[in-house]
Structure 1
Amino acid sequence: MLSNIINENLIRLKISANDWEDAVRKSASALLENGKITAPYIDAMIDTAKEVGPYIVITKHVALPHARPEAGAKEIAIGIATLDPPIEFGNSSNDPVKYVFSLSAVDQNTHLQAMSELAELLGEEDFYSILDKAESADEIMDYIKAYEA
């Protein structure tokens, strides 16, 4: 399923960001530019993280920004961004963040299968090596497709 909601156009490599907000904006911009979300959805991602804290840092070096569907999700999708250099998000256990997976979920249920598959993928050390070394989005998509097969 991941290869159905992630594509080369949603992957950004070696993004430079000033702070965690900039990292979220730049990583989610791929979703915006490809019609998966509206601009207010990105603002909602940031506002939610400000209100609730750095809960979006879900494991070591990984952030999963998202917002409520009604904030502007148009289609289920996941954008992937690698940060260079890594950025502090304020989660002492899992900072700095090197990988941002921006989620657009259109309702409370359709993304659950995708989240389950993403969680499995995030358990693969090889995946992080690919993210670190990839020079193109194709390399990451090839890994995801091979992993699914």
Structure 2
Amino acid sequence: MLKDLTSEKLIRLNIDAKDWEDAIRQAADALLQNGKIKSSYIDAIIKTAKEGGPYFVLTKHVALPHARPEAGAIESAIGIATLKKPIVFGNKENDPVKYLFCLSAQDSESHINALADLTGLLESKNFYKFLDQAKDASEVMQYIENI
């Protein structure tokens, strides 16, 4: 479940990023600071996006930055981040991005149920409204725990 792979420590609200790369670095920093990934994991996300485009921009205004487990995933986790100002990532259909859900997957299966929960939330306009109004990480965790 999503509540098992995220925590208040992995949530960053209203990040002030200068471009897409900075947005990813700041959002993923929560995972790095909490021992879920190595810095090489963030570098791999950015390198892959530069080489092949923003593969992780999934739907309108939403990105799910992630890399291969061997790039430096230590533990499966999902970080949640919102941007103060939406940023163009280079995906014509879904730009600009305002919400980032950084995924660290240590294998191909342990995060599947959490992603299913997240997918359900991403289909709800109320979830985005909530994220826009949330004052702190504890509010976000409470919302997730109540779903």
Give the TM-score band, short-chain normalised.
Answer: over 0.9
Q: Which residue of 1 aligns with 2:8?
A: 8
Superposition RMSD on alpha carbons, in Å? 0.8
Greater alpha carbon shift after TM alignment, 117-126 vs 67-76: 117-126
Q: Which residue of 2 aligns with 1:137?
A: 137
2:48 partner letter: T
Q: Is the 8 A contact 2:17 2:23 kept in 1?
A: yes
Once the 2 structures are TM-superposed, how far is the Cα of residue 109 of structure 1 from its aligned partner?
1.6
Q: Is the 8 A contact 1:130 1:139 kept in 2?
A: no
2:99 partner letter: Y
2:10 and 2:113 map into 1 onto residues whose CA distance is 19
2:113 and 2:60 map into 1 onto residues whose CA distance is 22
Q: Which residue of 2 aligns with 1:128?
A: 128
2:53 and 2:112 map into 1 onto residues whose CA distance is 22
Once the 2 structures are TM-superposed, how far is the Cα of residue 117 of structure 1 from its aligned partner?
1.4
Secondary structure of 2:58's counterpart equals strand
Q: Which residue of 2 aligns with 1:101?
A: 101
Matches within 5 A, 1:1-149: 1-147=1-147
1:34 and 1:108 map into 2 onto residues whose CA distance is 21
2:53 partner letter: G
Once the 2 structures are TM-superposed, how far is the Cα of residue 98 of structure 1 from its aligned partner?
0.4
Secondary structure of 2:86's counterpart equals strand
Once the 2 structures are TM-superposed, how far is the Cα of residue 86 of structure 1 from its aligned partner?
0.8
1:6 and 1:83 map into 2 onto residues whose CA distance is 18
In structure 1, stretches of 5+ residues that fail to align are none
In structure 2, stretches of 5+ residues that fail to align are none
Count of residue pairs brought into register by the alignment: 147
Q: Is the 8 A contact 1:12 1:81 kept in 2?
A: yes
